[in-house]
Structure 1
Amino acid sequence: MQAEYLSSATAMEETLPDVLMRVVSELHDVAYLIERIEPQLAAVHADGAEHAAERMMVLQGIDLAVQKTRGLAEFIDTITGSIPASWIVDVTTALNLVKLADMQKALGNGMRHGHSQPIGKAAGDFEAF
């Protein structure tokens, strides 16, 4: 059954550097989205002084998440420069594992235009799932 599924799936082969650069773009998007949360949490003072230390730890954790995400993006970006453009990978299975449709499209369409997540959505907008 598994072999039939794999053999009937259309292979989506692309150069490894192109795929990795789309991953880099997605990581930068993630860092930006996380970073947007930090000022909003810093402005919340309703908990009072007794929770200030816990709030500070959360803010430091957010900052660390942004730094790690950007660090991974830079790492992948840097090593991608040394990968020959002739290296081809089949991204079909990997794309099928990505559950967010916008991210799946950004990672798999072969062309990167802007962010996979709509950065400019108005406050209060949401996508029901």
Structure 2
Amino acid sequence: MTQKFDDPGGDATEPLREVMARISSELIDVAQLIERLEPLLSNGRSTEFLASPDHMRVMQGIDLAVQKTHGLADFLNGLGERLEPDHLIDITTALNLITLEDMKRRLMASIHEEPSAEAYQKASGDLEFF
């Protein structure tokens, strides 16, 4: 059973393997958001811009960030699969460190929302100030 933030009592522990799976899912979502930057840096640009060393470094950096994010997600999944299901953890303090409310909700157990990369794609044209 997972404690909700507005629930003052109850057991706040949950299986670590499930927490790690949710973190892995968030990392995959981050990778997808980063991947969507690549076309923006190449569409409609001049060939000089595309051939510049600075541009290539940016593109390689984006590609590396995506690869590293996917790698970390796979690593967490691999670790989580090897954990015993009864290995419990309380993530309340860690969740309180997260400032993005939508990410916090997705990391909480028993709450399923679509990944933010999908939500942002569907909300194209909407503007949200933060």
Shorter-normalised TM range: 0.7 to 0.9
Q: 2:4 aligns to what?
A: none
Task: For structure 2, list consecutive stretches of 5 or more residues without a partner in the other structure.
Answer: 1-7
Q: Does the CA contact (< 8 Å) of 2:98 and 2:104 recur in 1?
A: yes
Show CA shifts across 1:32-67 (max 9, x none).
000000111122526944982101100100000000
Q: 1-side partners of 2:116 and 2:87: how far apart?
A: 25
Give 3-state SS (helix, strand or coil) of 2:121's partner.
coil
- TM-score with structure 2 length normalisation? 0.81
How many residue pairs match? The answer is 122
CA 1:99–1:16: 2 relative to 1, 3 Å: same
Q: 1:125 aligns to what?
A: 126
Task: For structure 1, list consecutive stretches of 5 or more residues without a partner in the other structure.
Answer: 1-7
Q: Does the CA contact (< 8 Å) of 1:21 and 1:80 recur in 2?
A: yes
Aligned identity (percent) is 42
Q: 1-side partners of 2:44 and 2:61: how far apart?
A: 16
Q: 1-side partners of 2:79 and 2:50: how far apart?
A: 46
- Aligned-pair Cα RMSD in Å: 2.4
Moved over 6 A (4+): none
One-letter amino acid of the counterpart of residue 97, structure 1: L
- TM-score with structure 1 length normalisation? 0.82
CA 1:109–1:80: 2 relative to 1, 3 Å: closer
